[in-house]
Structure formats: structure tokens, C-alpha cells
Amino acid sequence: MGPTSLLSFLLAVSAAAQVHQGLIVGAVLAADGRPVADAHVSAEVMHGSKILTVLNTNTDDQGIFDFSRLALGKYRIYAEKTEAGYLSTQPNIFASNPALEVTLTPEKSMATTIIHFGPKAASITGWVKDSATGGSVAAHLSLAPTSGAGWSTTGTDGQFKFQLLIPADTPINFGACAEGYKPWSYADASNPSRPIPLQLRPGAALKVDIQLQRNWENPESLCVSGKY
């Protein structure tokens, strides 16, 4: 089903709905235009700039979703399917695209929309270890656009192994830190003291073995996310 016929289908569904009920119906498409089944779609119910609650649903086999019996007002819509490599369409520090907003009014209580996923994400996996002992270290991991617009921070799991999805074809600064250790940054293998941005193709997977060195000069040094 192409975008034109898909939009016609969505309009037909909207027209068939009861006028007194608020309805948002739409579709989620991959970068190549194909529908994405079982994508996770969320609708933030807004009151001004405040989020009152969040509604959730999944797309069907044709990539179609709907939110029915809605109150009139403003909604922000976004989708994701990280298990298939599709990052959230919600605005973030790596994507400056505006939020997708839909407003239902007494004159227009039904709305249709199409959500487009970007290219599939790349992934980084690995372990954080003490460079001297080889033991696992609980660490904070940070990702940042090279523009310096901010940091996205996460931690290692119980075994200190990590798996991160990152936007593809995007230069990203990647760093790690832990209390009592020197900060670590992704760097040129031939020159570890020279940090370089990380940039991966869609669907690419990179394994990184992070070796943290003890900060003996300042053993109580704090881990400050984003200060790498």
C-alpha cells in the first residue's frame, strides 16, 4: 500500500467514525516507505506544555494504529520499535525535528497522521573493566552529538555489560566514567589519548572493550556525566 492509497484509507476510516468521539488514526512507515507492524505508538495528552498522561498502542500488520474515544485537545504522537532497530521519533538531542502534534476540536474531532521512522539504528556493545585487574566496573556511559547540544546518559547493567542503540550516520562522542577512575573517551586505536567521534552505518554493530584506569592521584574522584 503506497503513501497515497494509505492516506485515502486513513481518511475513509476517519469518516466512518462517530463524529462525537475524538479519533486519531495513522500509520507508521519505515524509511523505505514500507509499513512497520507491531511498532509501539504513544500519544501524550497535553494541557499546555504539561503532559497529563500517555496513551499507548501498537500498529497492526499494515502498520495502522488508532486512538479512539479521545477527549478534545492537543496530543503529541511518537513511535518506536527498538527491538527491530527503530529509535523513537520523539525529539531528542540527536534529532531537532519538532514534535508531531495533533489537536482535536469540536470542528475537527478526527485526525490522520503518518509517522516516518529514520534509518535503523546502529549498536554498541561491550564491557567496562578495570584495566589492571580485568574485573567488571559499574560505570556511567554518555553519548553526545558533536555539536555539544547535551548528553544522553545510561549505566551498565548488573553484569556491567552494556548494549546501546545510537542514531546511524551521526557523529557521536562516546564516553564513560566511574568513581575512583579516570574518565574514558572513545579514541583512535593508534592514539588512545586522541578522542574521536563515533559514526556507524545503519544496522552496524560495534564491540567496545572499555578499560578504565584507576585515578590514584585522586582515588575519590567523582564521575560527572558528560565531562569527558
pLDDT per residue as tens digits for the range 57-106:
999 999 999 999 999 999 999 999 999 999 999 988 887 788 899 999 99
Report pLDDT for 223: 74
Rounded mean pLDDT of 223-227? Answer: 59
- The three grid cell numbers given for residue 2, joined into one nine-digit string: 503506497
Going from the N-terminus, what domains does the chain have, and what CATH number goes with each? 3-116 (2.60.40.10), 122-212 (2.60.40.1120)
Q: What is the per-residue pLDDT across 127-172, written as a single tens digit (0 to 9) for each?
A: 999 999 998 888 888 888 887 655 666 655 555 678 899 999 999 9
pTM assigned to the model: 0.80
User: Residue 213: which residues within 8 A CB-CB, separation 6 or more?
Assistant: 131, 132, 181, 182
Contact status, residue 175 vs residue 228, Cβ threshold 8 Å = yes
Task: Report the distance separating Cα 183 and Cα 42, nearest Å.
Answer: 37
Cβ contact 148:226 at 8 Å:
no
Buried b vs exposed e over 171-194: b needs ≥16 C-beta within 10 Å?
Answer: ebbbbbbbebbebbbbeeeeeeee
DSSP letter assigned to residue 86 = B
